[in-house]
Structure 1
Amino acid sequence: MDAPQTEIPGYDYGTGKVAKLPISMAEWEELKKSALFSEEDAIYLRLSEDVLAEQVDDLLQVWRGVIFDHPHLRAYDEDPMTHEVDSKYAQAVARRFGRWIIDTARAKYDQAWLDYQYEIGLRHHRSKKNKIDKGHTLGHIRARDLLAFCATIVVPMKPFLAKKGHPPEVVSRMYDAWWKSMILQATLWMRPYIREGDF
């Protein structure tokens, strides 16, 4: 799953195509404290990379299954005129979603990672939705759906994290680290949705 960046269209992590997140590294450190995220959590996230790397497609199937089972979520992948899924758009997004699993597990919190979280938010918001992939889908994902879907991402993960036979306490620590990371990332994704001065 560790495909080179050039093999994933629109995966612009670490490039000049990505806008700079308008918070400082010091503010990021404060956010981590707010989420009780520690270096120990980062260690457990990194441990999860080896566990999840071979299960990316299975995780995507679970997550995308939820999307396609619920019309209000499926609509974000559909042409609003025909209500047909824009399959090229959905496939492109899924490839980057798979890579996001690896990037999350690597817990590499440098400026490039922070900026890419901002980019993810922009691509769900009307600022950039559809623009990267020339999609023909709804042009904006509501903040409430983006935030609520975080539960769909993390809740099913525990059996996946347990697949390599780690002790239950280690699996629980990886799971907790994923929850904290998910909350932190979703917070950063919300930046385009929040009025200037309120973030």
Structure 2
Amino acid sequence: MSASAVAGYRFDDADLPASPVTQEELDHLRTTLLFSEADERALRRAWEILRDQVEQILDVWYGFVGSHPHLVAYFSTPEGEPIAGYLAAVRPRFGKWIEDTCTRAYDETWLAYQEEIGLRHTPARKNRTDGVRSVSHIPLRYLIAFIHPITATIRPFLAAQGHSQEEIEAMHQAWFKAVTLQVALWTRPYGPATW
């Protein structure tokens, strides 16, 4: 799916404000995560495997969220009614996120969109993109906790084309580092003064 066809997807939007995170801070995070150029290459290889499985990956992730009422609540009205249109609108952006995680350069444009994604989980921007009346934010604890299911469930998809265990492990570890890096960046809007 092309970026322009995904409502609310703003990765290359020139009007998106720059991230307050500096390249040096990003480099320090990458170093802390042991995230290297080899990991970036592994992610590019991963995309070659994942690109034709995005809908199946999203089915797994949506099934996970859908099976837990405390998670569906963040896509529901304040009264607890799930908003089907909201879930449907987020899905293609989530698919683009998989692609971006594997293929994008970790530069200023990428940092700006990570800031936007982080803000969309907080009271500052949640619900605005899709114009819905839902709960005000997603608690930070769930962003952090989601690192595991988003990482654990990707492995079978990486193994789908018969690559060696060593190659699968390299791609899986690169994915884990990339997801952790992004979640670390998404935490900034929750507490800029202490980030």
TM norm. shorter chain > 0.5: yes
Tell me if 1:14 matches 2:12.
yes
Structure 2 residue runs without a partner (length 5+)? none
| Alpha-carbon contact 1:45-1:107 (below 8 Å) kept | no
Structure 2 partner of 1:177 = 174
Tell me if 1:164 matches 2:173.
no
Tell me if 1:102 matches 2:107.
no
- Deviation, 1:107, is 4.0
Structure 2 partner of 1:73 = 71
Structure 1 partner of 2:47 = 49
* One-letter code aligned to 2:94: F
Matches within 5 A, 1:27-38: 27-38=25-36
Structure 1 partner of 2:111 = 114
Structure 1 partner of 2:143 = 146
Give SS of 1:134's match: coil
Tell me if 1:136 matches 2:120.
no
Matched residues in 2 for 1:120 and 1:45: separation?
20
| Alpha-carbon contact 1:42-1:107 (below 8 Å) kept | no
Matched residues in 2 for 1:132 and 1:119: separation?
10
CA deviations 1:136-185 (Å, max 9, x no partner) are 21110000011101111111111100111111100000000001111100
Matched residues in 2 for 1:12 and 1:132: separation?
10
167-176 or 14-23, larger mean C-alpha shift:
14-23
- Deviation, 1:19, is 2.8
Matched residues in 1 for 2:18 and 2:77: separation?
30
Post-superposition, which runs of at least 4 consecutive aligned residues in structure 1 deviate over 4 A? none
The percent identity for this pair of structures is: 39
> What's the RMSD between the two structures over aligned residues?
1.1
Instruction: Normalising by structure 2, report the TM-score.
Output: 0.96
- Deviation, 1:96, is 0.2
Matched residues in 1 for 2:34 and 2:48: separation?
24
Give SS of 1:124's match: coil
CA deviations 1:84-124 (Å, max 9, x no partner) are 21111111111100110000011411111111111110001
